[in-house]
Structure 1
Amino acid sequence: MPDADKRFAEEWRDAAYNCFSSGHKFCREVCPVMQVTRNESWSPTAFHANVVAMEKGELEISDVAADYVNCTGCGACELRCPNSLFTGDFYRFRTRTVDLVKAARALAVSQDVHQDAWRRWNAETDERSHEPVTEAAGQERVRDWAEGLELAIGGETILFVDCEAAFHRTSVPRAVARMLNLAGYKFGLMNEQWCCGGPAAEMGYEEQARRFARHNLDDWRASGVRRVLVLDPHDYITFTEDYPKYFGDDYDIEIVLVVELLAELVREGRLTPHIPVERSVTYHDPCRLNKRKGVWREPRELLRAIPGLTFTDVDRVTQWSYCSGGGGGLPIEKPELTARISASRIDKAAELGVDTLVSACPWSERPLSEAGRARSIDVVDLFELLATSLGVAP
């Protein structure tokens, strides 16, 4: 067994045995991949069992690297695991399956074991400084979405717009910028924004992720940035979990989630939705907000503040098992599996008799929209919906 495999097994053995010994497998039923494939090799329990096998010398990472593709990083398995549910009471151990999957992918890349689509995607991201979400994605066009808005460059507070929103769903950041301007909230843009690096880290390309993170932090420092607004939950995870790991005490940037900021501005009366929006909606909890960060109240506050909406809510805990399939690099390597997961999510919305599924994550909206067309269900971003009621929709 390669030395790197041995070190990996040593690092993750306790997590593996704490999972593998319980036998309950509750995590399988909330795993979006397991829900549509029933493939035990792609289950959270298998991801831990592999570590046990590696420790015993029965497997190497090259034998199972392809299995670790089949994870969206949603975190539902961690929430459902008794290790997490009973932390401090019985097991006294927090399950970290998402981190385990990222570590296994990084181990594979370090040994030159690649997934073809992920390798191409990250090579092109490295070349463009942005993910190739559209043909137009590139450094020279990263601020095209802001044309005509006359936004400043730099300042203490800047808005970071993820690749999907900057190049594909440009109406989302335009809606956010117009609402912040309406509220009199001062912000600017980066001088030279690169991809946050989070997708590279999720696919195992950690050196590239760190390099992109270093560039962005240096840009913030040079522009006097103290606060970064993020509209995308994936960026929020990267800036609040990966960057602190990379930079330690040197990282003192405040990260503000736009959905929480807008809810605060509505509460304060600085924004008042007043134009009725006649839709029947339900809300899709983005995995990285609800499950990973516990953010579920503020999106619902905003929906309930919009006049004209008929809002049918679903218990946020029930939605631990809901996922768009749009995370963890899955749509890049296995778009057909993402499509099946999104179709399953749309089916659950259709059961409620709504005409619109509202999300607060640009990365979930492309696969959900494609699935929604087959069921005549619109997929609309929360920020666009709120901007419509405020009279500043793009």
Structure 2
Amino acid sequence: MTTEAEDQQREFVERWRDPAYGCFSSGHKFCRNVCPVMQVTQNENHSPTAFHANIVAMEQGALTVADVAEDYVHCTQCGACELRCPNTLMAGDFYRARTRTVDVVKAMRALAVDSGIEQPNWKRWVEATVDRKNEPVLDVPVAQENVANWADGLGLGVGGETVLFVDCEAAFYRTTLPRAVARILQKGGVDFGLMREQWCCGGPAAEMGYVARSREFAVHNVADWRGIGASRIITLDPHDYITFTEDYPKYFGVDYEFEIVHITELVAELIRDGKLSLMVPIERVATYHDPCRLNKRKGIHKSPREILRAIPGLDFRDVDHVTQWSYCSGAGGGLSIERPEITAAISQQRLDRAAALDVDLLVSACVWSERPLAAAGETRDIEVRDLMELVAESAGLEVTAVTT
């Protein structure tokens, strides 16, 4: 008789053996060069190839999930390894379907949680999120009744066909960002409202392995959207965007009927169509930090640059698209919660690369990236700002923070 844990491990191995062998048999390991965690730790156990090799070893009976669960903490789920795989580059979509490292990491973390192997900081974070319905943003009081306080004085209503979803970090900590986004949308003539009761998107819980908890948040949010007649959801955070376009469709299948739009795509369109004018010069020297989930995993890299080039006075210094693959803030995939020292080192490395361009401003389009990047920027005298805050400034919109 096998135990339930053994049955779960066997099912996991059967599900992921083909991608694992596809990676293991190639043996190239080029992905290690672009992995932000590997660049810092130099530990082979933290490499994408090791994540796949572990599954091969599990099939052979040499390892169990308990032996390897901690290895899979060391991943931001940025997706750079999948892009860098030479087999992906040479064989296109066929091999891309076989190099699914992000999905493998998420699945292994879920298996660990189901097997009773939990990382202490992730467990506390998810429990606090379940309790408050929003993530426990550091050093900020989080409560459901305060989730829309950022919108005070903006005249926003509830409901409508288009809803603005504001992630936990922006809603409670970086309130200037959602206020900037709201004022931009208002000036651009976009009719939108808010949710009746917005919960966390659930994406972070799923990334840490707590899939059942993630589904609970998804069920609530989708019911709220349907209840207020929403059909289009605007996101300002790439983490929400990827959760709504990848996790939610898996949860709801063909019954998931919503259009998900990231704010950079919409704002670029407003500028292009002449509905939003950027007239105030911003005399800064800047480069752009591609959020991993926006660029590497969803292919959105043109619209942010289109926006930056539309800002008068801005000296925008870019690097080639492929180079961006190895750039990361280190904040994703729960790494900053369980291994904050590695996140700090990755962010510092990112600022070092920005400094090499002789800039004084690093622009991001991911609010979760901005806190660790800003801390690293202080050592380099480089300011970190969100793209939408720059757009609001150049559009002549005054944006002030509110206290939650």
- When the two structures are superposed, what TM-score results if normalisation uses the length of structure 2? 0.96
Give the match's secondary structure for 1:13. Answer: helix
Give the match's secondary structure for 1:192. Answer: coil
State the shift of 1:279 in Å: 0.6
Distance 2:189 2:56 in 1: 55
Structure-2 change in CA distance of 1:228 and 1:92 (3 Å): closer
1:383 aligned partner: 388
Partner amino acid for 2:186? N
The number of aligned residues is: 394
Q: Which consecutive residues of structure 1, in runs of 5 or more, have no partner in the other structure?
A: none
The yes-or-no answer on 1:7 pairing with 2:18 is no
Structure-2 change in CA distance of 1:361 and 1:309 (3 Å): same
1:364 aligned partner: 369
Distance 1:379 1:91 in 2: 37
Which residue of 107, 117, 122 maps to 1:118?
122
Partner amino acid for 1:252? E
Give the match's secondary structure for 2:300. Answer: coil
Distance 1:211 1:283 in 2: 35
Distance 1:175 1:93 in 2: 38
Structure-2 change in CA distance of 1:69 and 1:153 (3 Å): same
Asked if structure 2 preserves the Cα contact closer than 8 Å seen for 1:87 and 1:93, the reply is no
1:45 aligned partner: 49
Partner amino acid for 1:161? V
1:349 aligned partner: 354
Which residue of 182, 186, 200 maps to 2:187?
182
Matches within 5 A, 1:280-299: 280-299=285-304
Distance 1:130 1:54 in 2: 36
Give the match's secondary structure for 1:391. Answer: coil
Q: Out of 374-383 and 91-100, give the one that drifted further.
A: 91-100
1:67 aligned partner: 71
Q: Deviations over 1:6-27 (max 9, x none)?
A: 1111111110110001111000
The yes-or-no answer on 1:339 pairing with 2:349 is no
Distance 2:271 2:93 in 1: 39
Partner amino acid for 2:254? D
Distance 1:130 1:42 in 2: 30
Partner amino acid for 2:387? L
Give the match's secondary structure for 1:369. Answer: helix
RMSD of Structure 2 on Structure 1 (CA)? 1.1
Which residue of 293, 296, 308 maps to 1:303?
308
2:34 aligned partner: 30
Distance 2:91 2:178 in 1: 39
Asked if structure 2 preserves the Cα contact closer than 8 Å seen for 1:78 and 1:84, the reply is yes
Distance 1:89 1:246 in 2: 24
Matches within 5 A, 1:76-225: 76-88=80-92, 91=95, 93-134=97-138, 135-225=140-230
Q: Deviations over 1:106-165 (max 9, x none)?
A: 000001100000000000000000000143112010001101001010111100000011
1:265 aligned partner: 270
Distance 1:95 1:52 in 2: 14
Partner amino acid for 2:176? S
Distance 1:118 1:228 in 2: 28
Partner amino acid for 2:134? H
Partner amino acid for 1:241? E
2:234 aligned partner: 229
Q: Which consecutive residues of structure 2, in runs of 5 or more, have no partner in the other structure?
A: 400-404
- When the two structures are superposed, what TM-score results if normalisation uses the length of structure 1? 0.98
Distance 1:257 1:206 in 2: 24
1:315 aligned partner: 320
Asked if structure 1 preserves the Cα contact closer than 8 Å seen for 2:22 and 2:98, the reply is no
